[in-house]
A and B are shown apart, each in its own frame.
Chain A
Amino acid sequence: VQLVQSGAEVRKPGESLKISCKAVGNIFTDFWIGWVRQMPGKGLEWMGIIRLINSDTKYSTSFQGQVTVSDDKSINTAFLQWSSLKASDTATYYCALAVDGNFYFDYLGQGTLVTVSS
């Protein structure tokens, strides 16, 4: 299994953005894809997670209302979306896969660098 993320993005404050994470390879029947933020020089922060089989979604309280996690199970892809970016959203975003019933991320994407600057 491999998680393939969309490429680096540069946006201005106030703009919207949607990045993607596609699971390829020997895909499990029932799995979750989570999103993790890493600001420059900082640690990992769990943002939210979606179960692709039924789109059940859970957010960290820190990110609830700030981002939207969605999916398209027909193409085994999860998305992370912002409606109005801020400079403080500048970070690398990783997606991570957890098989349902497991509570760890055994596959991680390569990361998507999002730069928000005027």
Chain B
Amino acid sequence: QSALTQPASVSGSPGQSITISCTGTSSDVGDYNFVSWYQQHPGKAPKFMIYDVSKRPSGVSNRFSGSKSGNTASLTISGLQAEDEADYFCSSYTRITRSYVFGTGTTVTVL
């Protein structure tokens, strides 16, 4: 199964909003609401940020939000802060193959 497609990098100034896209197919991202997002700081384990496309687990800032349209999911970070500088990965579960796939990853830089 091919990795979901994300932009390699996205940047923004403090306080701005940025959006990271995650494009798959009608078999994964577009099939159901099984999209999740993970944040990874250098040298650290990934951290769970968003599930079921747009839900935030407790403890995750409401500056992070998720959405989906067709085969493309998106993660928006509003009020960008220096601590948001990290790699971000989307993931989707595929019902037909009972498997998961990750996105290619996006490096967020705070200017």
Q: In the assembled complex, which residues on chain B have CB atoms less than 8 Å from the CB atom of A43? A: 3, 87, 89, 102-105
Q: Are A106 and B48 in contact (CB under 8 A)?
A: yes
The interface size bin for chain A is 20 to 34
Select the residue from B46, B93, B98 with max chain A CB neighbours within 10 A.
B46
CB distance from A41 to the nearest CB of B (A): 10
Q: In the assembled complex, which residues on chain A have CB atoms less than 8 Å from the CB atom of B46? A: 36, 44, 94, 108
The interface size bin for chain B is 20 to 34
Interface string of A23-53 (1 = CB under 8 A from B): 0000000000010100000011110010000
Closest B residue to A94 by CB, please name it: B45
Q: Which of A63-118 contact B (CB under 8 A)?
A: 94, 102-111
Interface string of B16-58 (1 = CB under 8 A from A): 0000000000000000001010101000011110011000010
Count contacts between A and B, CB distance < 8 Å.
Answer: 65
Closest A residue to B32 by CB, please name it: A103
Q: In the assembled complex, which residues on chain B have CB atoms less than 8 Å from the CB atom of A104? A: 34, 36, 48, 51-52, 91, 93
Asked if B101 is at the interface of the complex by the 8 Å CB criterion, the answer is yes
Q: In the assembled complex, which residues on chain A have CB atoms less than 8 Å from the CB atom of B38? A: 44, 105, 108
Knowing that A44-B91, A106-B51, A107-B48 touch, tell me 9 more A-B residue pairs with CB under 8 angstroms.
A44-B102, A45-B102, A46-B102, A94-B45, A104-B36, A104-B93, A106-B57, A108-B47, A111-B45
Q: State A44–B89 Cα separation when bound (angstroms).
A: 8
Provide the main secondary structure of the chain B interface.
strand
A-B contacts, 24 of them at CB < 8 A, read: A36-B102, A43-B3, A43-B103, A44-B89, A44-B91, A44-B102, A44-B105, A45-B3, A46-B91, A46-B101, A46-B102, A58-B99, A60-B99, A61-B1, A62-B1, A103-B100, A104-B36, A104-B52, A105-B36, A105-B38, A105-B91, A106-B51, A108-B46, A108-B47
